[in-house]
Amino acid sequence: METADIVIIGAGVVGLAVAAKLSENHESVFVFEKNLKFGQETSSHNSGVIHSGIHYLKGSLKAKLCVKGNIMLYELCERHRIFYKRLGKLTVAVTEEEIDELEKLMRQGQDNSVEGLKFLEREEVKKLEPNVEVEKALLSPSTGIVEPDELMNLFYAQARKNHAVLATETEVTDLRKTDVGYEVSGISVGEKFIVAAKTVINCAGLCSDRIAAMTGLDVDKLGYRLHPCKGDYFRLVGKPPVTMLVYPIPKGAGLGIHLTPDLGGSIRLGPNSYYVDKINYEVESSEREFREDVETFLPLIRERQIQVDSAGIRPKLQGPKDPFMDFIIRHEADRGLFGLINLIGIESPGLTAAPAIAEFVSEIYENEIKR
Ligand SMILES: Cc1cc2nc3c(=O)[nH]c(=O)nc-3n(C[C@H](O)[C@H](O)[C@H](O)COP(=O)(O)OP(=O)(O)OC[C@H]3O[C@@H](n4cnc5c(N)ncnc54)[C@H](O)[C@@H]3O)c2cc1C
């Protein structure tokens, strides 16, 4: 039987970042990815926003790893010449009640140590974004955009340079605890395989609850069950009416339909949010929903054409009626599973947080697992 010190299941941005980090100091790091290529699921179906950290509860992993990841990501982009833009973001209030929500976001952002937050009055917003009609806005200057594929290429190249091995078309179908670690089995390019691994790191995104269940964990009892939540995008045709990211006050399971300039300057609208049973990337929402939401702060959308763009699916722990749920990043030693680290519910801001998540996982490995 083949052996490995560390097996990472899943080569999205998180699995690749973890592989790049752990392979700096360790040999025998393997990444198993079921698809033909890395990064074909959530990591390439998102907004590409480098979030500031205003949206997450104080003290949560989402808040801490987002704020840290934001700083790390800009440094990585600078150092490795990855194209990014620090555009800044306006979160906008269009009614008096929404101003209360904006104030809550400001307090939360300050609690999370997000730097540079500032309220802007109607006229100040007009100076920055003449087409945006609002009562008040919260400016977060550290929000930006990056190309997720470029980031994944970097993590992949770093992992390769450190001799980590990425096996694509390699699906893990079973995970069994042994006396010394785990028997990881599955199908690789049509052939069955079994590898004996000392440590397993579950970075399987939308399948991470199923991977956890393979080890015998009761995912329902532990709150590990994922509720896939889809988000569709439309694209604005013609000249971009804004230069910054513009977000409404969050509602529902997402952050509200927002305007995101991409690196070419063209504007995407979305994502919205709705729970789904099946994974498919067809855009299923109506143009009307998008127009109505965006019209509240960008009236000129009435005269503009929009077209269907793409969709992504959030691996959410939070079900339709649940409150805020944090990322789960956990060494399961106390549940009889020494050497298993589960990463579950890595939805937004997982792209921003990826380098900080990798450091967090590496600390768990060095302090609790390495023998
Ligand atoms: C609509 C949308 C917009 C978003 N916007 C942003 C944003 O602007 N900014 C931000 O910071 N975050 C954003 N996110 C969140 C971000 O995209 C995710 O947090 C991040 O991509 C998660 O990466 P991952 O590696 O955990 O998951 P994934 O990219 O899903 O990777 C998991 C990998 O595991 C593989 N896998 C699964 N099961 C197995 C198995 N059994 N065997 C082998 N391989 C397996 C999959 O094939 C996949 O490649 C957004 C998400 C969505 C859905």
Each of the 371 residues of the chain gets a pLDDT tens digit; together they read 899 999 999 999 999 999 999 999 999 999 999 999 999 999 999 999 999 999 999 999 999 999 999 999 999 999 999 999 999 999 999 998 899 999 999 999 999 999 999 999 999 999 999 999 999 999 999 999 999 999 999 999 999 999 999 999 999 999 999 999 999 999 999 999 999 999 999 999 999 999 999 999 999 999 999 999 999 999 999 999 999 999 999 877 777 899 999 988 899 999 999 999 999 999 999 999 999 999 999 999 999 999 999 999 999 999 998 999 999 999 999 999 999 999 999 999 999 999 999 999 999 999 999 87
Q: How far is the CA of 158 from the centre of ligand 1 (A)?
A: 19
Separation between Cα atoms, residue 178 and residue 158, nearest integer Å:
31
Q: Which two tokens stand for residue 128?
A: 């920055």
Separation between Cα atoms, residue 353 and residue 72, nearest integer Å:
9
How crowded is residue 77: how many other Cβ atoms within 10 Å of its Cβ? 21
Q: Which residue has the tokens 């990841």?
A: 69
Eight-state DSSP code of residue 335: G
pLDDT for res 252: 72
Closest CA to 138 of 165, 96, 105, 176: 105
Helix (H) or strand (E) holding 84: strand 84-85
CB 214 within 8 A of CB 104: no
Q: Which residue has the tokens 């399948």?
A: 207
Eight-state DSSP code of residue 371: -
Separation between Cα atoms, residue 297 and residue 258, nearest integer Å:
10
Separation between Cα atoms, residue 346 and residue 211, nearest integer Å:
14
CB 185 within 8 A of CB 194: yes
Kindly list the protein residues whose Cβ atom lies closer than 6 A to any atom of ligand 1.
9-15, 32-35, 40-43, 45-49, 51, 171-172, 203-207, 211, 231, 271, 312-314, 346-352
Q: Which two tokens stand for residue 239?
A: 């000249």
Q: How far is the CA of 93 from the centre of ligand 1 (A)?
A: 30
194: Cβ–Cβ under 8 A, 6 or more apart, which residues? 1, 2, 183, 184, 185
Q: Cβ-count burial of 312 within 10 angstroms (0-12 exposed, 13-18 middle, 19+ buried)? A: buried
Q: How far is the CA of 345 from the centre of ligand 1 (A)?
A: 9
Q: Which residue has the tokens 């140590």?
A: 113
pLDDT for res 249: 92
Q: How far is the CA of 17 from the centre of ligand 1 (A)?
A: 12
**Both ends of the chain: CA-CA distance in Å?**
21
Does the global pTM surpass 0.85?
yes
Q: Which residue has the tokens 């990211």?
A: 245
Work out the angle at residue 137's Cα, subtended by the Cα atoms of residues 134 and 139, and round it to the nearest 5 degrees: 145
pLDDT for res 256: 84
Q: Which two tokens stand for residue 281?
A: 């990337």
Bridge partners (DSSP) listed for residue 49: 145
Q: How far is the CA of 114 from the centre of ligand 1 (A)?
A: 24
To test ligand 1's pocket by mutation, which of 41, 73, 189 has the most ligand atoms within 8 angstroms of CB?
A: 41
Phi, psi of 27 (to 5 degrees): -85, 175
